[in-house]
Structure 1
Amino acid sequence: MHFTTLQFTSEQRLDDGVLEREFILGEIPGTLWTPGSAPAPVPLILMAHNNGLPKRDARLMARARLTAAHGYAVATIDAAGCGDRPRSAADEQVRAELRRAMQAGEPVDEIFESLVGPLVEHAAPEWRTTLDALLALPEIGGPVGYSGWMALGIRLTAVEPRIAAAGFFAGGYVPRAQREEARQVSIPLLLLLQWDDEGNPRQRALDLFDTFGTKEKTLHANTGGHTGTPWFELEDGNRFYDRHLK
């Protein structure tokens, strides 16, 4: 158990009744959304964005607000190297090499491995520290769900027994370590796959779905590119969490 104190730095009541609060936990900045009308305590969903994007990304915030309005506490953080948090010179060098290789049409698997592997290794402990602090708040209870970045989600659901159900987006490179850890995932799982995702080979996502160790797993595939996940999948996702967290 970690004993870092969570401090709220701002709050606003949104027009849908959701309370949005910014917080800081040691060096970890985060945002917590809680529903306006649900009786406390409410279940918690950890919502992680992919591969270093900031917690204030518009698509993540829209998902978080709608999920909170549905009756969940939703939290996201900028983990190490994500959003506005500083990146090392080595990190920036790998990202520059990745951009160059992709523009040149060169193989990028090993570059992705050297970028995403360390991101997962650094992010997972910070998410678990955040979970400790959030579950200590009186307005939040269990159980806990996870939504978002698949590589991080595999690590968290493999090692964190408090997470009871997870929704993964089949986007972003999944390192070899997490492809192995997928066999340890035993909780209910919903995987969203964009059939025409230009940066993520379809067959690799299908193979990974087959690898997950859970007996209760569902695959939703939709046509379209990486950012084209249909909005109705959010409603289906909320029904998935309702079945397992409420």
Structure 2
Amino acid sequence: MHVTSEQRLDDGVLEREFTLGGIPGILWTPERASAPAPLILIGHPPLGLRRMHPRLAGRARYYAAEYGFAAATIELPGSGDRPRWAAAEQARADLRRALEAGEPVRGEIVDALVLPLVARAVPEWRTALDALLALPGIGGPVGYEGGVISIGIRLAVVEPRIVAAGFFAGSLVPAAMFEEARRVTIPLQVLLQWDDEGNDRQAALDLFDAFGSKEKTLHANLGGHTGVPHFELDAGARFFARHLK
């Protein structure tokens, strides 16, 4: 891991940008901690870290300043400044065409868009986790939050160091991921915007039902994709505080 920039923010949080094997990432840590900090991995849609930075940083800084968590994220394959990926570009174009035409998004489009992304991204997240847990001041346990939800599902299945997850419903989910969801057993909190124009509500509810976790909670709020109530930030933090401390 190579740190490329570092700044101390006014809320006592240290923000470090880094690269790991050519993959950009960002790490936020509480400036003063009496013990190694638990870590939250923050997932995000493939829109690029620069575009997503304000939203990601807002959550990460809150977790660090108010709860003493470290938080980190990495750029997804084919996003931001990473090399373009022809198959992913084609899948995104097919999705746009279907949405603009008002047509149902076929399963093969969803599979082509999501499954290769999961296959590439999950090993990168695990490599990043190795590097992050080797840093002084970070000791685990580890949580995961955000989207793409299929990436979170795969990580929850294959990565034993992740002990709790907060998923954001809303991304297209291949049918194969429903079977993987049945193998998820860690505590879950799932956030669903009831009127999300880009989300199949029933599919999101079916996915929640499929999760194999004995402890799973659904937070459903009225409003569209960007209308998540501010209080859900603290609800997510308190969920992680129960399981990471």
Same fold (TM over 0.5): yes
- Give the CA deviation at 1:117: 1.2
Counterpart code for 1:162: R
Q: Residue 177 of structure 1 corresponds to which residue in structure 2?
A: 176
Cα deviation for residue 171 of structure 1 reads 1.3
Who is 1:3 aligned against? none
Q: Deviations over 1:102-153 (max 9, x none)?
A: 1001121331221111111110000000000101111100100001011110
Alpha-carbon distance, 1:69 to partner? 1.4
**Runs of 5+ in structure 2 lacking a partner?**
none
Q: CA deviation at 1:36?
A: 2.0
The alpha-carbon deviation at position 165 of structure 1 amounts to 0.4
* Matching residue of 2:116: 118
Contact 1:40 1:138 in 2 (8 A): no
Number of equivalenced pairs: 240
Q: Partner letter of residue 111 of structure 2?
A: E
Q: Distance in 2 between matches of 1:203 and 1:141?
A: 38
| TM-align CA RMSD | 1.1
Match of 1:79 in 2: 76
The residue aligned with 2:95 is 98
Cα distance in 1 for residues equivalent to 2:16 and 2:126 = 19
Separation in structure 2 between the aligned mates of residue 175 and residue 60 of structure 1, nearest angstrom = 25
Amino acid of the structure 2 residue aligned with 1:59: R
Cα separation, 2, equivalents of 1:197 and 1:225: 4
The aligned residue for residue 65 of structure 1 is 61
Identical aligned pairs, as a percentage? 69
- Aligned match of 1:201: 200
Which residue is 1:187 aligned to? Answer: 186
Return the offset for 1:48: 0.7
Alignment partner of 1:44 is 2:43: no
Secondary structure of residue in 1 paired with 2:12:
coil
How much has 1:38 moved relative to structure 2?
2.4
For 2:237 and 2:56, the matched residues in 1 are separated by: 15
CA distance in 1, matches of 2:167, 2:22: 26
Which ranges of structure 1 fall in alignment gaps of 5 or more residues?
A: 1-5
Choose from 116, 133, 136 the match for 2:134: 136
Equivalence for 2:160: 161
Q: 1:124, 1:230 → 2: CA distance?
A: 29
Displacement of 1:60 in angstroms is 1.8
125, 128, 139: which one pairs with 1:127? 125
Q: 2:48 maps to what in 1?
A: 54
Amino acid paired to 1:179: F
Alpha-carbon distance between aligned partners in 2 of 1:65 and 1:167, rounded to the nearest angstrom: 17
Q: 8 Å contact 1:79–1:127 — kept in the other structure?
A: no
Is the CA contact (8 Å cut-off) linking 1:45 and 1:146 kept in structure 2?
Answer: yes
What TM-score do the two structures reach when normalised by structure 2? 0.95
In the TM superposition, structure 1's runs of 4+ consecutive aligned residues that sit over 6 Å from their partners are none
